[in-house]
Amino acid sequence: MSSTAVAHRLAELRWPSRGRIAAVAAWSVPPVVLATGIQALTAARVTEIGPLGLVSALPPRLYAALAALTVGFVVAVFRRGGAPRALLAAHVVVLVVLLFGAAPIIEPLPRLLPGWLHVGFADYIARTGETLPQLDARFSWPGFFALVAMATRAAGMPDAMPLLGWAPVAFNLLYVAAVFRLARATSSDVRTAWLAVWLFVPANWVGQDYFGPQALNYLFYLVLLTVLLVWFRPRAFDHAHRHAHRPLRDRLSRMIRLPAPPLLSASSGNPYGVTSLLGLMVVVVVVFAASTASHQLTPVAIAMSVALLVLVRQCRVRALPVLLGVMVVGHLSYFTVPYWSGHLDEIFGSLGNVLGVLNSGAVERVQGDATHQIVVLFRVELAAAVWGLAALGAWRRMRAGDNDPALVALAGAPFLLLSMQSYGGEILLRVYSFALPFMAVLVAAHLAPVRRPRRALVMLMAVVLSAALTGAFFIARYGNESFEQVRRGDLAAVDWLYAHAPAGTSFVAATSNVPWRSRHVERYRYSTVSDDDRPVAVSAVEDELRANPSAFLILSRGQYVFGESFLGKPPGWGSALEQQVIGSGRFRQVYANADARVYVLTKKGEIRGGNR
């Protein structure tokens, strides 16, 4: 090697002297913000979580850190010549950690009780090697629970509880990687992809990323569509087809002033051989098979999206939707009989009833106390704002000649789910979630590509938009934290029950917000007295306990807050109920802590543990 070449190589290794300070400043933003943010979150107190959720406990330092991160990212992404990809990725990683790690850092226990239940399902499979489809419909799709059972036992762990708290952070880190690749495949400008990822993170407030089948299946959804978009799009742009004479379409285009330039992001060819593509198709089928075995809704969403991709001629494997449909129906026919044999009306009752589904997905969810209603309405408005911005972004891309039929099809495909069923009133959230990656790309179209004279204005827009989304994230995602958190006292009472109640005993609670069933799902009977907005009468509680042998009544603060905030029960109903329970003389307290108490009936109840 000549000395000139080596000198040139050495010069490359050094920072350019003029930009050295700027580079050091840019690279220092992510670690400094991460340290500041974690310090701020560690200092926050869980007791300050109020009716609006986590937002009231967050210190101003966190917002300042996030603002600095936003400015750092926007400056880097719009830098002339482009910033190093590792620098941009570091910003995104820090954003994910601070947004989705806020709850696990502040709260002492993992949030969201459905995740606890999933741990209990996996625990049952690990202990018995069987499923319980009669106990819960989710056991008809046991793939995720079986995987968790196998992995945790092979790893020597007693259960999956250690995975619960930080699962959202891990899942979202995987999501952003897939979303970046999706955005890159559907955008002609790399800035658009980075901005789409940056906007996706705070816009993904839906909360379907907790430890459960839907979180893993969302990754399957993203990866499967990524593979199809990157490797199975048409080989080359078919100019002849695009410019064929189509009177109606041409007239419409002229009417709404749509230009018809070529697709900037169309794939120009596929360098992979048949063997590689075959291998990728095997990946698609294996991932989809795992999806059908582990979740009810995601395979349907995937099949619909792929079908639309084929319809708009953006997927070369035209038979794929048929194959996917056959796999879904096959799994439903053979593996989920215990579920659908008694619930056909529940499954197909809403078919075509879009208004009914919308009603149960949006209108009926506006319940509970005034603060909870504000949070729900805020979520609806936020979703509508994202969709509106995405629609405008699609229009902008179309006007700029960068329209991509695949992107619009994938953003719209999840809305077809509205014609199927309400999915327990959650379907709108799921539609938002499935459409979000593509909506984010369309929203990013407002910011990139950018012309030089408008750079400062666009940067300002980017900062304002991402700051607004980040601020909204804390209310939309953590707005229910007053009852979605798990309190130590509630868990201690449940632990006491498991330690003292014999198998076969019934556990009775006033409402369903109790951290139980994370183990022993089959050993005890679990029942709740009232999950509606009416106050609970002590006679109803007594009847429930008398109907079960050796029943224990557990009353806890988590139930009271859930009843008031989510169910809309009158304020103070919990303490009033407890006063009635004590005053009736028919219950005896066998356990108590600051947050929870356990009672048994004095006449027929049997106390298996010591009094406290």
Partner 1 sequence: MVEIAERAVDRRLARPDRESVPPEAVRAAAATGRRAAGQRLARPPLLVLLSGAIVLGFVLFDAPAAVRAVPVLTYLAVVPGLACVRLVRLRDRLTELIVAVALSLALGILVAEVLLQLGWWSPAWGLAVLVVIASLAASVELGRDRGWTVRLPSPRRRW
Residues numbered 174-203 forming contacts with partner 1, rule: CB under 8 A: 174, 177-178, 180-181, 184
**Residue among 274 and 344 whose Cβ is closer to partner 1:** 274
Q: Does 598 bind partner 1 (CB under 8 A)?
A: no
* Options 81, 247, 273, 610; binder of partner 1; rule CB under 8 A: 273
Indicate the DSSP class of residue 262: P
Three-state secondary structure call for residue 187: coil
What is the number of helices (H) and of strands (E) in the chain?
28, 5
- Between 38 and 77, how does the x/- string for binding to partner 1 read (CB under 8 A)? ----------------------------------------
- 299 cis-preceded (ω within 30 degrees of 0): no
Distance CA 166, CA 209 (A): 10
Q: Does 287 bind partner 1 (CB under 8 A)?
A: yes
Q: Does 144 bind partner 1 (CB under 8 A)?
A: yes
Backbone dihedral region for residue 286 (phi beyond 0: left; psi -120 to 50: alpha; all else: beta)? alpha
Residue 257 CB, shortest distance to partner 1, in Å, is 37
* Options 40, 49, 113, 126; binder of partner 1; rule CB under 8 A: 126
State the residue for tokens 């596929």.
270
Q: Does 218 bind partner 1 (CB under 8 A)?
A: no
* Three-point CA angle 138, 142, 147, nearest 5°: 135
Q: Does 156 bind partner 1 (CB under 8 A)?
A: yes
- Between 248 and 267, how does the x/- string for binding to partner 1 read (CB under 8 A)? --------------------
Q: Does 610 bind partner 1 (CB under 8 A)?
A: no
* Options 140, 172, 208, 291; binder of partner 1; rule CB under 8 A: 291
Q: Does 381 bind partner 1 (CB under 8 A)?
A: no
State the residue for tokens 């992001």.
265
Q: Does 10 bind partner 1 (CB under 8 A)?
A: yes
Q: Does 6 bind partner 1 (CB under 8 A)?
A: yes
Distance CA 129, CA 359 (A): 40
* Options 77, 125, 169, 304; binder of partner 1; rule CB under 8 A: 125
Indicate the DSSP class of residue 533: S
Three-state secondary structure call for residue 261: coil
Q: Does 532 bind partner 1 (CB under 8 A)?
A: no
**Residue among 73 and 139 whose Cβ is closer to partner 1:** 139
Nearest to 469 by CA among 176, 203, 209: 203
Q: Does 220 bind partner 1 (CB under 8 A)?
A: yes
Please give the full DSSP string across 37-95, using - where no structure is assigned: HHHHHHHS-GGG-BTTBGGGG--HHHHHHHHHHHHHHHHHHTSTT---HHHHHHHHHHH
Contact, 75 vs 26, CB < 8 A?
yes
Q: Does 323 bind partner 1 (CB under 8 A)?
A: no
Tally the residues of the chain. 612
* Options 43, 244, 286, 329; binder of partner 1; rule CB under 8 A: 286
Query: To which H or E segment does residue 588 belong?
Result: strand 587-592
State the residue for tokens 């009847």.
543
Indicate the DSSP class of residue 139: G
**Residue among 8 and 20 whose Cβ is closer to partner 1:** 8
Backbone dihedral region for residue 460 (phi beyond 0: left; psi -120 to 50: alpha; all else: beta)? alpha
Q: Does 279 bind partner 1 (CB under 8 A)?
A: yes
Residue 423 CB, shortest distance to partner 1, in Å, is 21
Written as six digits, the tokens of 457 are 């204005």
**Residue among 33 and 163 whose Cβ is closer to partner 1:** 163
Question: What are the residues binding partner 1 (CB under 8 A)?
Answer: 1, 3, 5-7, 9-10, 12, 85, 125-126, 128-131, 142-144, 146-147, 149-151, 153-158, 162, 174, 177-178, 180-181, 184, 216, 219-220, 222-224, 226-227, 230, 272-273, 276, 279-280, 283, 286-287, 289-291, 293-294
